[in-house]
Structure 1
Amino acid sequence: MPAMPDLAGRIALVTGASRGIGYFLAKGLAAAGAHVIAVARTVGGLEELDDEIKALGGEATLVPLDLADMAGIDRLGGAIHERWGKLDIMVANAGILGVISPIGHVEARVFEKVMEINVISVWRLIRSVDPLLRASDAGRAIVMSSGAAHSARAFWGPYAASKAAVEALVRSWADETKNMPLRVNAVNPGATRTAMRAQAMPGEDPATLPHPSEVAEKILPLASPDLQETGLIFDVRRGRFLRYRLPE
């Protein structure tokens, strides 16, 4: 695993950048020298991030966008192409929990919304920026997953299914691009002190969990031009990549 990367002159896109892990990843990328394209629904959070990045001496472009706006995701890729002609780093971080509920009790609209934001918007983003990442001399794609994709715990059906689908996208994309400079990996951040975790585990003491800034710091090296791994899961708690394995 490389040390903290030198990202001077690189262009990085981060979704879900207004809070949590995405917020601190955006700050870290800017501190490492990247120009950050920060995407989120919450304008106030984006403006706060912009102030933090400017205080670090960095630069950001703010994109208020609801990832349910699929045409907006398409336009984003076009705008990046027009301004920079490439993209060096993509962090697909945004996601929603849905509900913790027995599968048979999940409302159709809730299940569909989880899939829309956690899977379809990620695919749409990949489709929009894939040519831009290929245009980079060292494109890096980081897609947030979850241990839920593998544990498939009771009552976590929609979220677990969405993250399993995202990991399948990562594996296919990585295999398609394995002979190119592009590197594509998923990340399991583990339990983190975020609003989503509090929603899922309301009785949990957040002080017992890592702060999102700590988690982001461990993910940041995946953006390095020196990274060679592709098609893997980076497990933050273990601090290493895990390989996908077929059942024996």
Structure 2
Amino acid sequence: MGWKINFRCLLNGLSDTMNMASKELAGQVALVTGASRGIGEAIAESLAARGAHVVITARTAGGLEELEDRIHEAGGSATIAPLDLTDGDSIARLASAIAERWQQLDMLVLNAAMLGTLTPVAAIDGKEFNKTLTLNLIAQQALIANFDPLLRRAASGRLIALTSSVAREPRAYWGAYAASKAALEVLVSSYGAEMRNISTVRTAILDPGGTRTQMRARAYPGEDPQSIKDPAAVGDYVAKLMIEGFDSTAFHALPKVMEKA
């Protein structure tokens, strides 16, 4: 892989918008996966608005560049890191780059995922199922493994993984995606239990509920997008958790409709 991490960090004067937001996360570094759109994008903006430097990843740079520009225009700071999460070597190189630049990682948000085809279990395509598990589960373990040392170096490392209600409430035709998310919940909860008594690292699992994203539109094409919440509400909730802290293995679920935090 030939990508290069862009360490452009412009410390602009704070805009009126940023002055309205608290800076409880100033001096902290966050890594958000799947940040080019939807919930990941909203989480990155919300953390940056509260003073964190956000390292934003996605497969391509396009959406990340637009997000980085918005964050900088609002007075925040961000680093672009185009990344194929199915490439373990790329994850390792990103961890090394972050370690060299900041020595630690305060916050890790595991958001990137793929829906795959909604189909009966007996009809699941093996190749696509393998791809879904690779991104939604195996890549997440690789992220945890590579960033574990950096989370431990932080005063209070925090990891939040995004899940779905189908991981706990089986639903027809959602078997492949649900299985990947159920396994992710167990994986992250196990890591949290391991960390509880030996470090300050804490983990949480967040079910964002119905949210206005491209993935949601694919899954529910007939749904009125205005009947569900904007991703910004999820972003603000994640920032609130990062600021207030949480117990390891904590589970949080958001309602379908809610006001911004």
TM-score (norm. length: structure 2): 0.87
Q: In 2 relative to 1, CA 119–57 (structure 1 residues): closer, same or farther, beyond 3 Å?
A: same
The amino acid of 1:107's aligned partner reads D
- The equivalent residue for 1:243 is none
Distance 1:168 1:99 in 2: 23
Tell me, which stretches of 5 or more residues in structure 2 are unaligned?
1-20
1:219 to partner: Cα distance: 2.0
Per-residue CA deviations over 1:190-240 (Å, capped at 9, x if unaligned) read 01110001111111111111111122212222212x41411021112299x
Contact 1:87–1:135 at 8 Å: present in 2 too? Answer: yes
Q: 1:144-198 deviations in whole A, cap 9, x for unaligned?
A: 1110101110110010000000000111111111122111011000011100011
For residues 107-158 of structure 1, give each alpha carbon's deviation from its aligned partner in whole angstroms, at most 9, with x where no partner exists.
Answer: 1111001101000110000001011000000111011111010111011001
Matched residues in 1 for 2:252 and 2:92: separation? 28
Kindly report which structure 2 residues correspond to 1:199-214, keeping only aligned pairs within 5 A, or say none.
199-214=218-233
Per the TM alignment, residue 99 of structure 1 is displaced from its structure 2 partner at its CA by 0.9
Secondary structure (helix, strand or coil) at the match of 2:69 reads helix
Query: Which residue, 89, 109, 112 being the options, matches 2:107?
Result: 89
Counterpart Cα distance in 2 of 1:137 and 1:166: 25
Pairs within 5 Å for 1:67-86 = 67-86=85-104
Query: For 1:106 and 1:212, how far apart are their aligned partners in 2?
Result: 30
Q: Which runs of 4+ in 1 moved over 4 A?
A: none
Map of 1:181-200 to 2, 5 A cutoff? 181-200=200-219
Match of 1:245 in 2: none
Q: Which residue of the other structure, out of 25, 42, 52, is the alignment partner of 2:43? A: 25
1:8 aligns to 2:5 (yes or no): no
Matched-pair contact (CA < 8 Å) for 2:107–2:151 = yes
Q: Distance in 1 between matches of 2:256 and 2:22?
A: 18
Identity, in percent, stands at 47
- Give matches, 1:165-176, under 5 Å: 165-176=183-194
The residue aligned with 2:76 is 58
Alpha-carbon distance between aligned partners in 2 of 1:202 and 1:237, rounded to the nearest angstrom:
20
Instruction: Report the counterpart of residue 242 of structure 1 in structure 2.
Output: none
Q: Distance in 1 between matches of 2:173 and 2:139?
A: 23
CA distance, structure 1, for counterparts of residue 67 and residue 166 of structure 2:
29
Measured in 2, the distance between the counterparts of 1:207 and 1:106 equals 32
Contact 2:32 2:57 survives alignment (8 Å): yes
Distance 1:162 1:35 in 2: 30
Q: 2: CA distance between counterparts of 1:187 and 1:175?
A: 17
Q: Does 1:120 align with 2:138?
A: yes
Could you say what the CA RMSD is over the residues aligned between the two structures, in angstroms? 1.6
TM-score for both structures, normalised by structure 1:
0.92
Q: 2:128 aligns with which of 93, 98, 110?
A: 110
